[in-house]
Amino acid sequence: GGLMYQKDFNEGLAHLTANEYLVLAGTFHGVHAITSKISPVRNSTSSGLEVLEADSFKLYCFQTLTGTKFLILADPTHANIDLVLRRTYDVYSDYVMKNPFYTPEMPIRSELFDINIVKLIKQLPAC
């Protein structure tokens, strides 16, 4: 798994380096692949890890039918992050996938995508 796009929305938090974000994305991709194969329920299929909860954050994952994963690290008190992920996918579909100059699985360099993702995040209620 590669990292196609990354953006920090909370100015006050410590930031990871570009390499640390790549390691995080690659590690999550591996864990997600493993968790999609295991289930304690017999004859069950799993979509893989969807939410990872910690004391100070929650990591949410939404995987599309094409296998693209959207991850959001959020404050544990934020609600409806699954809806935010689906709306992020809508923005991705509209401004990245419909762009004839975009090559799939390459880094996203789209001003319209950036603008609309920021707009989406700003609509979220503050915790």
| pLDDT, tens digit (0-9, with 9 covering 90-100), for 84-103 | 999 999 999 999 999 999 99
Number of residues that make up the chain: 127
Helix (H) or strand (E) holding 70: strand 69-74
48 dihedral zone (left: phi>0; alpha: psi -120 to 50; beta): left
Q: Reduced to 3 states, what is the DSSP secondary structure of residue 51?
A: strand
- 106 DSSP 8-state letter: S
Instruction: Categorize the per-residue pLDDT at 10 as very low, low, confident or very high, splitting at 50, 70 and 90.
Output: confident
- Range with the poorest average pLDDT among 77-81, 86-90, 108-112: 77-81
Instruction: Categorize the per-residue pLDDT at 83 as very low, low, confident or very high, splitting at 50, 70 and 90.
Output: very high
Return the pLDDT at 67. Answer: 85
* Number of alpha carbons in the 13 Å side-chain half-sphere of residue 46: 15
Rounded Cα gap, residues 102 and 26, in angstroms: 22
The one-letter amino acid at 93: S
